[in-house]
Structure 1
């Protein structure tokens, strides 16, 4: 936790905040080893960053005196990530990683090789998704939560919603065997589509290419989804 992310309800006023949840308190004690008088980085969810001093810490709360919250969070990546729903454990890590990297729009998509049981996972409950997004923000000292949408049907997504998403974005389909290498250092609005373990089936590749996506690859090596996501975002942006 490189940032103490404050919710609106944590603020007593503009200059005082109280943290009560066990996770953040445990992190303050065990990782920061925080003592009264320590200055830490604070950020208001959806707002700005700044500094605050720890003025009180007890078993059930920590109180901060806020100097100011006047710094902007890191710039977001200009990308909408469309990710075939990974298995639950990988989903948790992937959400944290892409949030830390600055992705603000995430669509989780069903494809043929996504197990239907994945959609029943507790990791897809809103509170669990929120938890992983917050962990990513805390890691990167960011305050702006990504938007996450669930698309449980491939064909309606490609036919009904993908065209609008591609109107003002460059569509990139990351899939082994595609003709073009992944671009480097782009700065234009982009929609990046990444498949599941085992990849997209040929029908899905054809539909995504027909919709306007450009097929790209990362080379000969086949990577795990969580590794491929990080590598693609790092290379693209």
Structure 2
């Protein structure tokens, strides 16, 4: 066997080991993300895991986390959280290529080529779409995933004090400052209580019908008198 072939085989071995380590570490990251979902929702891990496993794919799960953070987290946790989500999306792209795309190592350029089906505006589908990734990115992926998991775990510990009971839209409409802390906010539920003191609807910028739909949408901004018995 030539020296070139021997070097190529060694490079392949290193590549496959790196792929396996990254895939296994990704499972640990997803477990940490499901616990983060529990913290954002204020529920136990088992309810969060039911929701997590019911989401169709990782992108849907990350979108859910991102929207919850955007609506209910105060500063600076919201910005920090959304930065972590961006890192997760970047790493997920490489992880998905490793798990689902055909490909191999070009030992002359130290790059990994992935052949995959991709959307194409002109052709409908491009069946020969190539994506090139530096081998170094694959080799460092395991440590990148570990670092992201630890950052999520660290941020998760700060979430209880940073979560608002009211969504950001309601806080801004009611003139509350977007800051951490929940002690000044009332009505944690998604739906308003029908037994709260009525709010003057004419203080809103536009008229809203007193319907169950508007009550669900605007939460504590709208309240109604108790139903007559």
Q: TM-score, normalised by structure 2?
A: 0.21
Larger radius of gyration, structure 1 or 2? 2
Instruction: Answer 1 or 2: which has greater strand percent.
Output: 1
Instruction: Answer 1 or 2: which has greater helix percent.
Output: 2
